[in-house]
Amino acid sequence: MPFQSSEQEEPAAPGSRIAVEAGDILMRRSLTDHAPSAQVHVIETAKALEDFRLGHGALLERAEVLLDRTIVTFQARTGEHDEAAWQAAAVYMVELWATRYSAARLTAFDPAPPPPSRFTPAHPLRLETVSREAHDQILGAGRSLERKTRGVDLMDVARAQHGIHEAARLLHDQLDGLSMPLWVLIARFCAEIQAGNLRILKAPAPGATV
């Protein structure tokens, strides 16, 4: 039986544009439905960050500017504005997306930007620092979503939804400036990015014989 989220009774934050939805998490409106342009900003920021890591040092400043644009867009489109929570979420989205550009490199996250960059691994608002367990739940949900597309196990939908909900609950416990329903959308968005990363890694190389 598909996992049913238990957060449907909790109202969104005052002024939020996020409606509380019941039912399967994967059947609800997604974060990109609420903020389609923000996804474009996530991708642009990830590309700039990867270019910095490839040796174009000046592009770190561009990545930071684009990160600000990403956060502001999410804030405007969702109606929820907590700066710290959005920083943790947006940096995590960007880093997840950037891994698809660095899959061929052994040192995906090097060089690490120095403080006070928000992309430095030691920053206290890194999502995986805020809650390592939430990070693990998101990656696990991403694996389940990737397997779901291949029809490996009928329970993958339930596992993915459970992982997304657990990640959202853990993050809401630590950063409650965003509502629980919004954290569910954020965790789902991140899990879907990770699922896409895994599909790319498993795809045959161009010209390869399957």
Supply the pTM of this predicted model.
0.90
pLDDT recorded at residue 158 = 95
Burial 80-112 (b: 16+ CB within 10 A, else e): bbbeebbbbbbbbbbbbbbbbbbeeeeeeeeee
Question: Cα torsion at 190, 196, 202, 204 (round to 10°)?
Answer: -160
Q: How high is the mean pLDDT of the chain?
A: 89
pLDDT recorded at residue 104 = 66
pLDDT recorded at residue 9 = 40
pLDDT recorded at residue 102 = 79
Query: Taking 60 as the threshold, does the pLDDT of residue 5 lie above it?
Result: no
DSSP code for 3: -
Long-range contacts for 156-160 (Cβ within 8 Å, ≥24 apart)? 157/2, 157/3, 157/24, 157/26, 158/1, 158/2, 158/3, 160/26, 160/191
What pLDDT digit, counting tens, does each position of 21-68 carry?
A: 888 999 999 999 999 999 999 999 999 999 999 988 889 999 999 999
pLDDT recorded at residue 140 = 97
Query: Taking 60 as the threshold, does the pLDDT of residue 206 lie above it?
Result: no
The values of phi and psi at residue 38, to 5°, are -65, -35
Q: Is 207 helix (H, G, I), strand (E, B) or coil?
A: coil
pLDDT recorded at residue 3 = 43
pLDDT-derived band at 2, boundaries 50, 70, 90: very low
What pLDDT digit, counting tens, does each position of 82-119 carry?
A: 999 999 999 999 999 999 887 666 565 678 899 999 99
Question: Cα torsion at 51, 195, 179, 6 (round to 10°)?
Answer: -170
Structure token pair of residue 88: 């943790």
Helices H / strands E in the chain, number of each: 8, 0
